[in-house]
Amino acid sequence: MVEVLRPHLDRQGQRGGQAKLSVEEQLLVALEYWREYRSQFHIAVSWGIHETTVGRIVRKVEDLLVKGGRFRLPSQRPLYQPGWEWKVMMVDVGEMEIERPQKTKALLQRQAAMPHAESPTASGV
């Protein structure tokens, strides 16, 4: 894997910013992410780099390994096999009105007849 990655990731003696991690260390970062299922944050803390740098390294290493043709990374989706038995569950969902208590006429009349509280400044006191 290092042989595939070295021509693309090794920046020694080139112009521009130098990588903080060597090619081998970048490969280890990617392998930790894939194998140990650690979060990018935890890998970043253990290597002393930023979380987004871990994401960039993982994406770059993955792309280079796939493009190199010598390594095939497993797919996320399962392949269909003719022997599988499909089980389907259907759920019929409909809308229903929510039953709320209705306000009665007596309650509405009582609310209308209640006098409003007056503030002391409005009564002139």
Mind listing the pLDDT tens digit for each residue in 67-97?
887 776 666 666 566 677 778 888 877 877 7
Helix, coil or strand: residue 4: helix
Average pLDDT of the chain, as a whole number: 79
Query: Is the model's pLDDT at 13 over the cut of 70?
Result: no
User: What's the rounded mean pLDDT across residues 104-111?
Assistant: 72
Task: Report d(CA 72, CA 68) in Å as an integer.
Answer: 9
Chain centre to alpha carbon of residue 47: 22
pLDDT of residue 70: 78
Q: How far is CA 37 from each of CA 11, 30, 42, 47, 48, rounded to the nearest angstrom?
A: 28, 10, 10, 16, 18
CB neighbour class for 26 (10 Å; exposed up to 12, middle 13-18, buried from 19): buried
**Alpha helices for 1-125 (secondary structure H):** 2-9, 23-36, 40-47, 51-68, 105-113
Dihedral (CA of 24, 25, 26, 27) sign: positive
User: Is the pLDDT reported for residue 113 higher than 80?
Assistant: no
Q: pLDDT tens for residues 30-50?
A: 999 988 888 999 999 999 999
